[in-house]
Structure formats: C-alpha cells, structure tokens
Amino acid sequence: MNMQWNLEQLRLFVSVAEQRSFSAVARDQRKAQSAVSSSIALLEEDLGVSLFDRSSGRQPKLTEAGSALLEEAREVLRQCERLNGRALAMMRGQEARIRLAQDEAMPFQPIVDSLSALAVQFPSLEVQLSNGTQGDVARKLLERRADLGLLFYHDQIPEALERRVLGSIEMVTVCGVGHPLAALDEVNCQQLAQHRQLLMAAQSSVYPGSEPASPQVWRADSFYVIAELLMRGLGWAWLPRNVVQYSGYQRQMVELVSEWTPPALVVELVWRRDEPLGPAARWLAERFAVHLQAIG
C-alpha cells in the first residue's frame, strides 16, 4: 500500500464527516466541491478503503471503515497541533518539557494546584513527575534526569544545585487511636522513650528529628509507610502535618501534646546551577511558593 495521503486530506475527511456535506466544507475552505471530493477520493485510494457511502442520498454517510478511522484521523490532527504549539513555544524561548522530581512527603494539594495553574498558563508544555526520598530527588537532578526538584532542606544538598526556600511544614507527634500514649493529655520525653518509635530510615534521610528518642526503634523509608504502621498501634512517630491530615488517616491518629517536636520541614525548590530555569519553570516556582506558603 502506497501511503501518500497528507494532512490536508485528513482535515477534509474530518470536516466532511462532521458537517455531513461536501458542499458545506467546500464553501468553508473556499474550494470547488469537486476539489474536496477529489481529495477524499485520493485519501480513500491511499488508505485502500471507502470512507463514505455515496449511494446513501444527498448527505455523505460514513462507512464502517470511515467510522473506525475517523477518531484516528482526529488524533493525528491533534498531534500536529501539539507539535506546532510546542515548536512555537520553543521559538519564543519557552522550554518544551519540565521534569519535576519531588520528595514523596510533599503536601499533595499545593503541588496539584500549582500544576493545574501551569497547565492553563502553558498548555503545550510537557510535564513529567516522579516521587522519591530526599536523596532520590537530588540524585535525579545531578544525573540530569530531572529539571526541578522539591525537597525538604538539609545541609547535605550538593553544591551543584541552586536552591530556593518556598515554605515550611510543621512536624507533629502522633500515635494511633488505640496506643497507650493516646490517653495522655501531654507527653514528655521519658514517656515517649517507653514506647517504640517509628523513624525514617537513616540511610535515606537527614530529615529533622531523624535521631531516635526511644531505645526501641523501627525504621521505614517513607512517612506514609510509618503512618500505616502507626495506625496499627506499632509505635509513635514524628510526622509532617500534611501526612497526618491525609484524608485516609482521619480519626485513626491522635496528635500528642509533646514537650518537644523536631523543627519544621523547610520546603525548597532546587535545580542545577549550570541549567538556568526557563520561563515555565520560573512561573511554576512562583506558584509553588504561593500555594506552599498558604499552608505554612
């Protein structure tokens, strides 16, 4: 089969199928009706199928093959629009893609709100998202597998990365509703030390409060895994407030009044120093700052 069809033929095919009229499409396109009919006939010849049943009356009617190929044709035209949009954006200096790596404990709603606004402001931009621990985020940036990173401040961020503080998230002391500590009005360090503590794995984290306050410790590499263990009464933990407020955990945790909790987690935007941020990334950084400060 000799595929010589072109995009103009696809546009005419879709237009005739939608308007159900060769003559109406010819008027819209300022073409002779014979030219439109000829283009469709050439498309049918190239595809090897009849797209319209011309014996069904005055209005062209899609054949079974035409109905099956109509959405394919529409998708090809949509892809062309995306290609043109991204090329135009690049010509204007906008990056074609943003790869965002984020700490898995980042608050969900501010990130999604920011990305929703980005989609409206830069509709042709491609976005790739990935989640991981602090070390994962920095590593992806260093290996050029990410353009932007969202992580919590620590003093071991590589020198090759630029950083900007966006906001902070409070750490809270929590246990499951059935845990013995849940019955206390206030807890001190001696009382906490009498029960198992659930902590982030030392090799994957330098979060504030990563040092144990109890002689008995279980560790995991995710705040959300810690939360699941905590709800089963397996210990108490220091968790970011946004994790505690996750809808799936409601009424299953008790926030304890404690004489000491770790410092707040400081949210930072990080990127490579040798790759300046493009206009879309700079715009997204401002959205992150607005939405994250709102919860700080």
Q: What is the mean pLDDT of the segment spanning 142-168?
A: 86
Looking at residue 296, its pLDDT comes to 47
Statement to judge: residues 14 and 86 lie in one domain = yes
Residue 166 lies in a domain: no
Could you tell me if 137 and 282 lie in one domain? yes
Q: Is residue 106 part of a domain?
A: yes
Q: Confirm if 67 and 36 have CB atoms less than 8 A apart.
A: no
Mean pLDDT to the nearest integer, 214-227: 92
Residue 228 is assigned to a structural domain of this protein: yes
Q: Is 87 a residue whose pLDDT tops 80?
A: no
Rounded mean pLDDT, 129-133: 88
For 10-20, the pLDDT digits (tens) are 999 999 999 88
- Is pTM beyond 0.85? Reply is no
Contact between 296 and 167 (Cβ < 8 Å): yes
pLDDT value at 130 more than 90: yes
| Domain-embedded: residue 204 | yes
Q: Domain for residue 112, yes or no?
A: yes
pLDDT tens, 25-70? 899 888 898 898 899 999 998 888 999 887 766 788 899 999 999 9
* Domain harbouring 26, CATH code: 1.10.10.10
Burial class (CB in 10 A: 0-12, 13-18, 19+), 239: buried
Q: Say if residue 178 is in the same domain as residue 252.
A: yes
Give the chain's length.
Answer: 296
Q: What is the pLDDT of residue 145?
A: 94
**Mean of pLDDT values over 229-235:** 95
139 falls within a domain: yes
- Please give the mean pLDDT across all residues of the chain: 87
> Are 281 and 149 members of one domain?
yes
> What is the extent of the structural domain holding 119?
101-160+270-295
